[in-house]
Structure 1
Amino acid sequence: MYPLSMRSVFFFSAMLHYMASGKKFRWCTLSDAEQRKCSHLARTLQNVVPPSDPFSRASCVRAHNTQDCLTKIKGNKADAVSLDSGEVYTGLVLYDLAVVAKEERTEGNCVFAVAVARRGTLNIHNLRGTRSCHSGAKWTTGWNIPLGFLLSRNLMYWEEDQPLAKVVSTYFNASCIPGIGVSYPNLCELCQGPKSFVREKNHFCETSSNEPFSNSDGAFRCLQNGGGDVAFMDHLSITNATDSEMNQFELLCPDGSTASLKSYMTCNLGQGPGKAIVTKIPMKRITKRFLSVIQNLFGRNGKHKNRFSLFASEDFGGQNLLFHDSTERLQLLTDDADMTDILGLNYVALLKELGHEGTSLDHSIIRWCCISSAEMRKCEDWALSVRSDPLVCVQATSLSGCIEMIKSNEADAVTLDATHAYIAGMCGLQPAAVEYWGDNSDCPTDPKEFLHELLEKGLPGLYALAITKKSTKAVNLLDLRGRRSCHGSIYSPAGWLLLSRYTVRAPANKTWDCDINSAYENYFWKGCMPGGESGLCKVCVGWEEDGRVNGRCAANHDERYYGNMGALRCLVGDPDGRSYGDVAFLEHHSLQENMEHLQNSGWAHGLNLSDFELLCPNGEKAPLTEWKLCNLGVIPPSIVMTRPVITAKIYEFLVKSQEYLRPNKDSSFQLFRSVQKYAAGDLLFKDSTACLLPTGHYGLEDLLGDSFIELADSVFACTHAGILDFCTSDICMDKKK
């Protein structure tokens, strides 16, 4: 006999108390059809388990709608219910309930949010003024993800202090959004549930199966029979579409195109978690035990599945009753699972931004992510200078750290180089603004139209350069193996991604490692690639304080060899004349300014631009002035990245900053200048930036270009990046990369 653990003792004690109380386990139902199925479950359960079993007596509690279910569970009048994940969040935050299990299908427990319309009638960019059908208010695929998408692409605008429902009521002409309430009647105009002054008989525009247009099946029905032009729903309701439905309807894709109903995996507005089971916190273990019992008896492989099928509903006059009919199993959660384990980081951040905690968008604060003490100083000066929404400066240790903080809702925005922007896109972040690297006089009065014109002919970029000193002999780009190298940072476009095509992934290099980080370590003798490892940190110098070296090889400005100026400083060597690098990889902009700063700081030993030369892809050398002809490729512009819903908020803040802080105004602070005041270049934004342009509905593919995306895809297909491990651990992220 083995001693029981304390957890087991507590559980059996709770079960004994539950049995002694004579209570029935009470499932909350949302329609007459669900009540019938639940009652049949209770009777069958009573017939197949011993009378002594605590679950031999189960009962069904009829609720008016999902909110009534939450109220009943909180008030100890019911014990559990399976809900859409949007209402699961409401149950956790506003009703202090707990999640104990998730419904899982063959492909997982996440669902695609799709927009469906009649063939040839609409695209996702022209929905204003149409009639809309939604699975439910604050539901994942009927409200949260589609509204988040429309807001993130600036197709719908949410003004400060307005209820989101009011914004939706002015955007769509008429709707059926079950559960939305009575404040905006046109949001219920298309619904067809029975109306009555008696609450128990009134199901009009309610999240109940008695409202024929409730849930995803109902939204599709609303589109088919209720006069709707577009339906927002989950993909599960169209997986078994008939040939007639396939011919009559199509999906609206994010890029403005359309696709067949079968293409929901590539044509959707996003993914979100599926349904989950909630209960009171004291009932967590008992509810999990109940779910385990009914699944073992009546699940897909249950002992008595012939007597009752837990995941089938047609015999009871409905669909998806109690649980979704496509559910394969109930995944029981561990006791220590938190909200992000259950719903995912992306989804929790989306719900907060949509006001699911009872507040609208918080327009009062922007949290900008900085990566060094120098950036913090500039950011704090920015906060003191700008006359708009309050700016708060938060600090990470690298750009990857900023991506993680923004995804975790600990920061709001950061400017990222092209490679880090690509990574951020893989992590679910979106562009809010793009740096324009053209002439200041080109900055337009109509930035949206200007960006459209630029994308047609190509955004101006920077050139990636390989620079060496003229005094360094026998060095050429075709054979840098065994050389000492200076890189701006790991993942930098010039010193990491574009460079790979001419070194570790060059056609002549037959032994390159698929993971280019390890390939670089084997290729170069030693060097400084801030954020890297092993030999690529050997010549990094960090910064000194009280005789101690700190931050050596850190991927931020606290490493003195970080960034464009840092790579140049690494190549120049220390003030005593000792050289650390044979070649530096950096961007062509601000070279003269960076050199002058190094001279003034005592690092450059009287060197000037004529003492350096470029290494060209053909193996030859050229003067620094020939960077247009002798380079490693064009670097796409840097991009301000943020969480999807707040893209407009971030850009509006940047517009105000640009207006108040223009160089020709009185402010001594300049948003796009860093070197002279802060002794480091490219702080917060590139110093070559003329202005910031709104990205609007354009995605990273439009801004970065196909060739850059293809190169990044091929590299990250087999190059390990810790930030991507963090991002793809989110429950609904694409695990392919």
Structure 2
Amino acid sequence: MDGTRKDVEQYKDCHLGKEPPRAVIAHKDADSQRIYKAITQVPDSDLFSSDAFGGKYLIFSDSASGLVELPKITGSVLYLKQDYYEAMHALKVGSPPAPALDRKIQWCVISHAEHQKCDSLQIPRLECRRAESVEECIQKVMRREADAFAADGGQVYIAGKCGLVPVMVEQYIQQNCSYSGDNPAMNISVMCIEASSYHVVAVVRKGSGVTWSKLRGRKSCHTGLNRSAGWKVPDSVICGRTPNCTLYTFFSKGCAPGADPASNMCELCKGSGKAVGDESKCKASSAEIYYGFDGAFRCLAEKAGDVAFIKHTIVGDYTDGKGPEWAKQLKSDEFELICPGSPDETFKYSEFDKCKLASVPAHAVVTREDVRDDVVSILEAAQTSSDSMFKSVGERNLLFSDSTKCLQKYAKSLEEFLTKPYMDMIEKTYETGQGAPGIECVYDFLQ
């Protein structure tokens, strides 16, 4: 479409669009697993060959090599991706009208507490929309039922595979924020040349006897399924490509909000604290007390688990009288770090440079390409006029990490933001088949 010609083998650089592969369609209430099992009982050589019937592409494509079972939540828009869906829709009803110049941005929140904070900020042209999880936020943004949300690296990876982009990055070092004039309260960010990052650490209680060499079979506390610090990094470091190794089998039980409620990775979760009938237990939102950085640390501090996989600043932020009410009595010297490089040693919580599992990308604001400029301009203006965007009341890390000093505009690619080593680590953990996302933009994952 740029007026050039290319060799036929260069189709990836010279095409009119990407079309998803054929899919088996069923009623939304159908037993999809039963259908998948029934179809895949037929040998591939019979299923994908039409030669014996004198035709081509009979029922399935002759070039297919297998079928992949999709997550139950995969609807037509999610499968086709927004651009393709809208292109087909436009053929029938015409192109949609251009968006208004003063259009509002819908921010996706994942808990009642986040919704309250979002409303209280009263950011002009920003409205708040509720979802039950980050994965549901991804779907809402793809369907244009929402426009943006903040997520950690593991969630940014999934969103990127669904065609969404990171446009602003949390910056945790004040000196790296630029300001308007000489007023440091005016956090107007310039272009982020190199994305901020943080360290992932494994924290234990001092005197517990837990070291890296004695970790197997212990009880674990995770920020959430598929999150960077809480799941992707420990999964990669502990299991890597080791056959039959998963965090589910390595630890005796744990709390990884977002995991299968029937699995051992939800056994330690506390929910909202109700005695019975608690629907919040193991939910991937702040409705679960042990969700997120603070939740995983609380899980360890309350002695539900033996080890917590969290951000390197959490122990310092939540102890010695600086944390919320539940942490008021905690002392920083009650906690230590463990790491595979020194399997029989422990380190002070402040020695994360000596004892860390990995350095990972900071949390980022994710949106669609078509609303990138609107999202950035609204957030840049908001952080110049509000001193509470990065403060949470009652709970921690609502909407953004509380340790954020400013948001910085980011215009590079998803791959440059996440970095190749980090993406390799994520993809390596998916090879085990454990912790795979409940949402997949499947043909991107298959390529």
Q: Same fold (TM over 0.5)?
A: yes
1:553 maps onto 2:282 in alignment: yes
Question: Is 1:673 matched up with 2:397?
Answer: no
State the Cα distance separating 1:601 from its structure 2 match. Answer: 2.0
Cα-to-partner distance string for 1:357-381 (whole Å, 9 max, x where unaligned)? 3343564221111111111111111
Q: CA deviation at 1:512?
A: 3.3
Runs of 4+ in 1 over 6 A off after TM superposition: 350-353, 446-449
The answer for unaligned runs of 5 or more in structure 2 is: 22-50, 56-62, 64-74, 181-186
TM-score by length of 1: 0.48
- Aligned partner of 1:621 in structure 2 is 346
Shift of 1:451: 2.1
Note if contact 2:161-2:445 (Cα within 8 Å) is conserved in structure 1: no
2:370 equivalent in structure 1? 645
Matched, 1:347 2:347: no
> Following the alignment from structure 1 to structure 2, what is the Cα–Cα distance between the partners of residues 522 and 612?
25
Counterparts of 1:267-282 in structure 2, within 5 Å, are 271=18
TM-aligned CA deviation for residue 342 of structure 1: 11
Please tell me whether Structure 1 or Structure 2 has the larger radius of gyration of its CA atoms: 1
Amino acid at match of 2:378: F
CA distance in 2, matches of 1:597, 1:263: 61
> RMSD of the TM alignment (CA)?
3.3
The equivalences for 1:74-89 within 5 A come to none
Of 583, 593, 607, which residue of structure 1 is paired with 2:307? 583
Q: 2:77 touches 2:143 (CA, 8 Å); kept in 1? A: no
Are 1:512 and 2:241 matched, yes or no?
no
SS in 1 for 2:371: helix
**Structure 2 Cα separation of the partners of residues 546 and 630 of structure 1:** 38
Q: Which runs of 5+ in 1 are unaligned?
A: 1-113, 118-244, 247-259, 275-300, 306-327, 329-337, 514-518, 574-578, 664-669
Could you tell me how far apart the structure 2 residues matched to 1:692 and 1:644 are?
18
Instruction: Please report the TM-score for the alignment, with normalisation by the length of structure 2.
Output: 0.77
Of residues 529, 548, 563 in structure 1, which corresponds to 2:256? 529
Percent identity of equivalent pairs: 29
Query: What are the superposed Cα offsets for residues 227-272 of structure 1, whole Å, 9 maximum, x if unpaired?
Result: xxxxxxxxxxxxxxxxxx55xxxxxxxxxxxxx6632326768635
CA contact (8 A) 1:541 1:561 kept: yes
Matched residue of 1:613: which SS? strand
SS at match of 2:160: helix
Cα gap change, 1:544 to 1:269, in 2 (>3 Å): farther
1:529-588 Cα distance to aligned partner (Å, 9 max, x none): 111131111111101459653300111111000111111110111xxxxx2111111001
1:107-506 → structure 2 map (5 Å cutoff): 115-117=2-4, 246=6, 262-265=9-12, 271=18, 340=77, 344-348=81-85, 356-361=95-100, 363-382=102-121, 384=122, 386=123, 388-389=124-125, 391-440=126-175, 442-443=177-178, 450-452=191-193, 455=194, 459-473=195-209, 475-505=210-240
The letter of the residue matching 2:206 is K
2:205 and 2:413 map into 1 onto residues whose CA distance is 40
Paired residues of 2:223 and 2:257 also in contact (CA < 8 A): yes
With over 3 angstroms needed to count, the CA separation of the structure-2 counterparts of 1:500 and 1:261, relative to structure 1, is same
The amino acid of 2:97's aligned partner reads G
CA deviation string 1:56-107 (max 9, x = no partner):
xxxxxxxxxxxxxxxxxxxxxxxxxxxxxxxxxxxxxxxxxxxxxxxxxxxx
Report the AA paired with residue 550 of structure 1: E
**Is residue 163–residue 368 contact of structure 2 (8 Å, CA) maintained in 1?**
yes
Matched, 1:695 2:410: yes
SS of equivalent to 1:405: helix
Return the alpha-carbon distance in structure 2 between the equivalents of residues 645 and 352 of structure 1.
Answer: 17
Matched with 1:714 is: 428
> 1:494: Cα distance to partner?
1.0
- Which letter does structure 2 place at the counterpart of 1:617? P
- Contact kept, 8 Å, 2:158 with 2:437, in 1: the verdict is no
Amino acid at match of 2:202: A
Distance in 2 between the 1:695 and 1:352 partners? Answer: 31
Tell me whether 1:541 sits opposite 2:270 in the alignment: yes
Contact in 1 for aligned 2:188/2:380 (Cα 8 Å): no
Instruction: Look up the equivalent residue of 1:451 and give its one-letter code.
Output: C
Equivalence for 2:26:
none
Alignment-derived partner of residue 296 in structure 2 = 567
Amino acid across the alignment from 1:705: T
SS in 2 for 1:265: helix
- After TM superposition, list the pairs within 5 Å mapping 1:56-95 onto structure 2: none
Q: Matched residues in 2 for 1:448 and 1:496: separation? A: 30
Q: Distance in 2 between matches of 1:487 and 1:472?
A: 18
Return the offset for 1:404: 1.4
Measured at CA, do residues 341 and 369 of structure 1 come closer, stay the same or move farther in structure 2, by a change above 3 Å?
A: closer
CA distance in 1: counterparts of 2:174 and 2:274, whole angstroms: 40
